[in-house]
């Protein structure tokens, strides 16, 4: 079973995030404060994959006290150059640009890597980094398939590395407080949770074969994935909706709410998983569901459900994302930000906890530097102290696995029954074949 953050850990996380923000307000740079801390406290990070969320997160790492972004790695030369300039402006020290991150894994000037590549690279790249002795902050989902997730957990433990997934709500102070309230019984026994994500994504059309742009190394971009010809509607974002590289909305966004629900309910592996939905809104190359409802049953009469609507943004609880916990004595509502509301049995508000800053919960770049800083600093402190982070990879894998099981149920049209020891699908060898993927020969992830 997982250990929830203690009150002491919560105070440390909150204090670290506040420290980084206060220093910024005072005009003290991360670099100058890092010198005050001393070289032994400074964590040097290589940012890998910086075209989208990685761009903002690379800058955010550079802002944190005692952290230096030493390398920017990307297969897109334009994205790499843009991020090098942006990070240089933050930390006043220009990071080195590298196309193939594997070339810096043996460098003694890198302590940790931040990985924001496409999904198919997450686990293979993180495993390589662990084997090279680097700590890893890997964005969600931590793996493209369940097999990779198990392998990454094994790598983190074998090589004794700090590996944290980007399930940043695990470090948000008021969400930590919300889960503590749930555990203390503020709504009695919580027995059902519902999470959701909505958006108005547009069609991606029918892709046409096209020359690979001169600034992009498409061969390296594909990496572990079986080779497919380049076409004009895949890179940089639409790969999310192709099974060869992406994992659909369930893992692209659903991971966050599923993780919060699993955390709040105190559950691990499900007994049964079903999924309904499909590509309903448009007829194009999009392969993963744009409309999906995944249901999970757990031991002890507990269940949860996640609803994804990629192409219809009508909100629930006036928010495009969130999670609701239903209990014997009331309800708790979170709407994707750092806050929550408690209702009694008669739906009367008994407690409302709001963050001082409004969050754009649907921003694809993330919830903003302030909230991301809590998780970043939790990771950095874990690296310095050799402790498990709030979003430890074993925690992340279990939540990602739930979404992956939902996709497997969706793709096969079957009800999945799962082993309570590891989440494996039982009684259906044909479906279990989707537990892992095929790899480009020579690129198979492995523990050595």
Which are the contacts of 263, defined by CB distance < 8 A and separation ≥ 6?
2, 4, 170, 179, 395, 399
Q: What is the pLDDT of residues 103-150, one digit of tens each?
A: 999 999 999 999 999 999 999 999 999 999 999 999 999 999 999 999
Domains, in order of start, for the chain: 7-170+375-392 (3.40.50.720), 173-207+217-366+394-435 (3.30.360.10)
Token digits of residue 151: 């392998």
Q: Roughly what angle, to the nearest 10 degrees, separates helices 7-25 and 30-37?
A: 120
DSSP string, 80-124: HHHHHHHHHHHHSSPPEEESSGGGGTT-TT-SEEEE-S-HHHHHH
The pLDDT score that the predictor gives to residue 356 is 81
pLDDT in tens, the chain (448 residues): 444 443 344 334 444 443 443 333 333 333 433 333 334 689 999 999 999 999 999 999 999 999 999 999 999 999 999 999 999 999 999 999 999 999 999 999 999 999 999 999 999 999 999 999 999 999 999 999 999 999 999 999 999 999 999 999 999 999 999 999 999 999 999 999 999 999 999 999 999 999 999 999 999 999 999 999 999 999 999 999 999 999 999 999 999 999 999 999 999 999 999 999 999 999 999 999 999 999 999 999 999 999 999 999 999 999 999 999 999 999 999 999 999 999 999 999 999 999 987 766 666 666 788 999 999 999 999 999 999 999 999 999 999 999 999 999 999 999 999 999 999 999 998 999 999 999 999 999 999 8
**Rounded to a whole number, what is the distance in angstroms from the first to the last CA of the chain?**
28
Please give the Cα distance from 279 to 376 (Å, whole number).
Answer: 35
Please give the Cα distance from 82 to 372 (Å, whole number).
Answer: 21
Please give the Cα distance from 74 to 54 (Å, whole number).
Answer: 10
Q: What is the pTM of this model?
A: 0.90
Q: What is the pLDDT of residues 320-350, one digit of tens each?
A: 999 999 999 999 999 999 999 999 999 999 9
Please give the Cα distance from 171 to 389 (Å, whole number).
Answer: 9
């Amino acid at each position: 079973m997982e250990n929830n953050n203690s009150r002491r850990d919560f105070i440390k996380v909150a204090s670290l995030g506040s420290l980084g923000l206060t220093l910024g307000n005072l005009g003290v740079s991360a670099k100058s404060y890092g010198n005050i801390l001393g070289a032994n406290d400074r964590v040097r990070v290589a940012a890998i994959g910086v075209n989208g969320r990685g761009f903002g997160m690379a800058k955010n790492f550079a802002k944190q006290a005692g952290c230096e972004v030493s390398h920017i790695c990307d297969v897109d030369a334009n994205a790499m150059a843009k991020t090098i300039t942006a990070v240089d402006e933050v930390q006043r020290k220009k990071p080195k640009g590298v196309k193939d991150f594997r070339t810096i894994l043996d460098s003694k000037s890198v302590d940790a890597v931040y990985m924001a590549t496409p999904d198919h690279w997450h686990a293979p790249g993180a495993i390589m980094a662990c084997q090279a002795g680097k700590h890893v902050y890997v964005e969600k989902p931590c793996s493209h398939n369940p097999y990779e997730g198990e392998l990454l957990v094994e790598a983190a433990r074998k090589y004794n590395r700090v590996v944290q997934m980007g399930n940043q709500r695990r470090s948000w102070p008021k969400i930590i407080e919300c889960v503590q309230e749930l555990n203390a019984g503020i709504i009695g026994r919580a027995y059902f949770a519902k999470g959701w994500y909505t958006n108005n994504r547009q069609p991606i059309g029918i892709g046409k074969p096209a020359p690979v742009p001169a600034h992009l190394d498409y061969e390296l971009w594909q990496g572990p994935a079986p080779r497919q010809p380049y076409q004009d509607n895949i890179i940089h974002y639409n790969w999310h909706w192709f099974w060869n590289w992406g994992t659909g909305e369930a893992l692209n966004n659903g991971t966050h709410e599923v993780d919060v629900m699993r955390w709040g309910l105190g559950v691990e592996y499900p007994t049964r998983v079903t999924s309904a939905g499909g590509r309903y809104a448009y007829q194009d190359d999009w392969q993963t569901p744009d409309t999906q409802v995944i249901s999970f049953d757990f031991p002890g009469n507990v269940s949860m459900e996640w609803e994804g609507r990629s192409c219809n943004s009508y909100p629930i609880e006036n928010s495009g994302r969130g999670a609701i916990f239903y209990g014997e004595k009331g309800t708790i509502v979170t709407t994707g930000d750092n806050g929550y509301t408690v209702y009694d049995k008669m739906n009367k508000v008994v407690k409302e906890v709001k963050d001082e800053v409004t969050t754009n919960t649907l921003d694809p770049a993330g919830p903003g530097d302030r909230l991301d800083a809590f998780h970043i600093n939790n990771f950095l402190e874990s690296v310095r102290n050799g402790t498990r982070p709030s979003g430890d990879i074993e925690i992340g894998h279990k939540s990602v696995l739930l979404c992956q099981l939902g996709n497997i149920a969706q793709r096969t049209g079957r009800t999945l029954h799962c082993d309570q020891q590891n989440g494996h699908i039982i009684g259906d060898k044909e479906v279990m074949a989707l537990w892992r993927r095929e790899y480009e020969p020579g690129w198979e992830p492995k523990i050595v």
